[in-house]
Amino acid sequence: MKTRVIFFDIGLTLATAMEVTPRRLWSSRLNLSEKETRRVGRLIMTEQASEPSALARALCKVLPEHSPGEVLQAARTIWDEQADSVREIPGAMDLIVALRKMGYRLGILSNTWFPLFQGFRTVFSPVMHLLEYVVLSFEQGCKKPSREIFCRAVMKTGLPPHSCWMVGDSYELDIRPAMEEGMKTLWVLSSPERETSTLAQLLRGEMRKPDLVAASLEETRVFFEDEEKMP
């Protein structure tokens, strides 16, 4: 069966946001301990909170040493900053349009929280209707690299795993679990300096290689054009 569905990661694959990760942003704003930072990171990526006050209430349960007013003020500020920081990686929307014209069904499979997805949805509004499958950690209650979220994504398509591609920038979060689920994989290695240890292990044959490795979104488009031509 020919592969017909392509799932994309969002962060550093289709879009960028603030350089500081969300959990580190919370850590600096509230002067969190490392243990508290990990708690916040897990919660914000898996909590179905669609506005700051709901998120603040959930955060207060894992940050008992911080006042509710302090947490709510930080939530409101960080929420807006995150939503406003999303930017398209050049060529991402053009790639989505091109792949859809080739006949591929498209989706996103991402660890994210509501304000970042809100920003993504705004920036990518011209092509959101082309993304048929939307599988997000804060909606699913689980996050990559858990195989559960990949399994749910595949189930949405109604196709077997080998008929789905996962395209992402992180080997550990995107590529490895997708391969374990039986999906095909394309690793967008646009920042190899962040993956030096993984690359070394791959070269030594200690880890399984992805199906394809691309240096850019343009190269990704070329790969799928070539696949489209295959019988």
Is residue 164 within a helix (H) or strand (E), and if so which, with residue range?
Answer: strand 164-168
In 3-state terms, what secondary structure has residue 102? helix
Give the model's pLDDT for residue 115.
97
Per-residue pLDDT tens, the chain, 231 aa: give them.
Answer: 466 999 999 999 999 999 899 999 999 999 999 999 999 999 999 999 999 999 999 999 999 999 999 999 999 999 999 999 999 999 999 999 999 999 999 999 999 999 999 999 999 999 999 999 999 999 999 999 999 999 999 999 999 999 999 999 999 999 999 999 999 999 999 888 989 999 999 999 999 999 999 999 999 999 998 876 655
Where is 7: in which H helix or E strand? strand 5-8
Question: Among positive and negative, which fits the CA dihedral 54, 59, 60, 62?
Answer: positive
pLDDT at 229: 62
pLDDT of residue 51: 97
